[in-house]
């Protein structure tokens, strides 16, 4: 089963259908070709990471922050578990933007080794955003995955 990520229009007027870790279809004019890609997200073009995967990372972060306070290294490990390679130079600015947007609250704590660690907690606004995203994801999944599977059975 493929997981739908999204559609991407490139500067060369190609339409790319991206399916997580499995298949990329590129259409230009009448020609259509399929190219297998590895589950390793490093194989994806940078524009895909910036335009599409970044949104998935935000959903992951909000979801986990709703369950418990999170910190940067933990969420980086969690995203890697899902096959995403995210550097600290991408993750920490992302967490800062989410804090500036009012979705996360950062609390600096000290552990036993006297090193400060930033914990991120979901705010009320973040919870509202997460509720909205869950509804949108459910609708998108129904339309893109379930309806397509039902159409194949007919």
Structure confidence by residue, pLDDT tens digits, 23-81: 333 433 333 333 333 344 555 567 776 778 888 899 999 999 999 999 999 999 999 99
Mean pLDDT value across the chain: 74
Q: Considering only 15-19, 81-85, 131-135, 137-141, which range has the smallest mean pLDDT?
A: 15-19
Question: Is 37 inside a domain boundary?
Answer: no
Specify if 20 maps to a domain: no
Classify residue 89: in a domain, yes or no. Answer: yes
Q: How confident is the model at residue 105 (pLDDT cuts 50, 70, 90)?
A: very high
Main-chain phi, psi angles of 152, to 5 degrees:
-70, -30
CA neighbor of 3 nearest in space, from 37, 32, 28, 31: 37
**3 located within any domain:** no
pLDDT band at 110; cut points 50, 70, 90:
confident
Total number of domains constituting the chain: 1
CATH of the domain at 84: 1.10.10.10
Per the structure block, which two tokens stand in for 51?
A: 């335009």
């Amino acid at each position: 089963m493929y997981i739908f990520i999204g559609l991407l229009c490139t500067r060369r007027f190609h339409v790319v259908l991206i399916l997580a870790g499995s298949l990329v279809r590129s259409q230009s004019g009448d020609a259509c070709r399929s190219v297998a890609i590895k589950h390793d997200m490093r194989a994806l073009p940078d524009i895909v990471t910036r335009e599409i995967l970044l949104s998935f990372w935000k959903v992951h972060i909000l979801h986990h922050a709703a369950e418990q306070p999170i910190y940067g290294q933990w969420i980086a490990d969690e995203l890697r578990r899902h096959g995403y390679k995210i550097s600290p130079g991408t993750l920490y600015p992302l967490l800062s933007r989410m804090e500036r947007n009012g979705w996360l609250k950062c609390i600096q704590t000290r552990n036993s080794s006297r090193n400060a660690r930033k914990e991120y907690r979901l705010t009320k606004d973040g919870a509202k955003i997460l509720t909205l995203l869950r509804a949108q994801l459910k609708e998108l999944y129904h339309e893109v995955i379930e309806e397509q599977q039902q159409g194949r059975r007919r």
